[in-house]
Amino acid sequence: MRAFIALTRPLNLLIIAFTMVTMRYGVLQGLLWPDAHTLQQGLPEFIALVLSTVLIAAGGNIINDYFDTRIDRINKPGDVIVGRTVKRRVAMAGHLVLSALGLLLGMYAAWRAGSLRLAVLPAFAIGALWTYSTTFKRRMFIGNGLVATLTALVPLTVGLYEIPLLEVRYAGELLRTGVPEAGVAAYFNMLWSGILLYAGFAFITTLVRELQKDMADVRGDMADGCRTVPIVLGMKWARALVVFYAVCTSMAVWMVYRRYLGDTFSFWEITFGVIAPMLVSAWLSATATDRKGHVRAGNVMKVAMVMAIGYAWLLGTILHG
């Protein structure tokens, strides 16, 4: 059982759940505050949404390891689980059960949100994770872009479910208090802006981490016939892309700070909690000479991502305090 749980990558699942909770109670509540009482409704549906996302991600992690056994035997032979401590048929059954439960919970959340069209999100995620593991992982740019898109969907999904419900519950109240329609639209556009900023950050930082993982796994990927960036274009180009993305993202984060924040706490948190780890990660990638060095660079990038998510918990106090 412990090996099966390890196969789902529980730390990554906790980060996913933490991200979704932060989007609801950090970003949306922070921007709504002190009107955040509107978020007290719909908690069971939100829990179902989080569980749906986590279960689908767990199933995706299992199926990725299922199809990556040959690669992992070369890159990290001591960490191979599928086919050793977990039988292949058990791994496949686990993927199917977790994905099915995630789809059902996602459909329930979409139904309760009053928009069954949203059920396409968990269905898309399941299909994308399967095709990534079987096909797109081995193609240059497409695999990285697909994983980055799925990561960006984590915060975006919260917005897609929550903001329309907030409009239904709250827009009429704003209009009755004399706020013009343009003002109401701007109010909810502000909520979308907060969610989209985090989704964009998740997309680009995940692209960086996927490139770093490709550089770390280049030996096994090459043996399996993959055509990733470091294999097709070379390690120099892969390093250059990591540095380029990290520097551009750091500049974008700094511009957001200067435009919308400007307080002392945000300066220290954003500068040393988010930007500094991103630049250190890029430097580690540029100077890494072995697999451990590239893995270390990816872990530092993950620190920047978690720190950026954690910052949202103080958003309400920073903006309204």
User: Which pTM was predicted?
Assistant: 0.92
Q: At what angle do helices 235-260 and 276-287 cross, to 10 degrees?
A: 170
**Cβ(163)–Cβ(188) under 8 Å?**
yes
Would you say residue 40 has pLDDT above 90?
A: no
Q: What is the pLDDT of residues 62-113, one digit of tens each?
A: 999 888 888 878 888 777 888 788 899 999 999 999 999 999 999 999 998 8
Q: What is the pLDDT of residue 243?
A: 97
Alpha carbons 162 and 111: distance in angstroms, whole number: 13
Domains of the chain, by residue range, sit at: 2-320
- Confidence band of 224 (pLDDT split at 50, 70, 90): confident
- SS3 annotation, the chain: CHHHHHHCCHHHHHHHHHHHHHHHHHHHHHHHCCCHHHHHCCHHHHHHHHHHHHHHHHHHHHHHHHHCHHHHHHHCHHHCCECCCECHHHHHHHHHHHHHHHHHHHHHHHHHCCCHHHHHHHHHHHHHHHHHHHCHHHCCCHHHHHHHHHHHHHHHHHHHHHHHHHHHHHHHHHHHCCCCHHHHHHHHHHHHHHHHHHHHHHHHHHHHHHHHHHHHCHHHHHHCCCCCHHHHCCHHHHHHHHHHHHHHHHHHHHHHHHHHCCCHHHHHHHHHHHHHHHHHHHHHHHHCCCHHHHHHHHHHHHHHHHHHHHHHHHHHHHHHC
Q: What is the mean pLDDT of the chain?
A: 89
The 10 Å Cβ neighbour count of residue 33 is 16
Q: What is the pLDDT of residues 227-280, one digit of tens each?
A: 999 999 999 999 999 999 999 999 999 999 998 888 888 999 999 999 999 999
Q: What is the pLDDT of residues 266-280, one digit of tens each?
A: 999 999 999 999 999
Question: What's the average model confidence in pLDDT over 124-144?
Answer: 92
Residue of 26 and 274 predicted with greater confidence:
274
Q: What is the pLDDT of residues 137-159, one digit of tens each?
A: 888 889 999 999 999 999 999 99
- Confidence band of 38 (pLDDT split at 50, 70, 90): low
Would you say residue 212 has pLDDT above 90?
A: yes
Q: What is the dihedral of CA 260, 265, 267, 273, to 10 degrees?
A: -110
Would you say residue 173 has pLDDT above 70?
A: no
Would you say residue 171 has pLDDT above 80?
A: no
Q: What is the pLDDT of residue 33?
A: 62
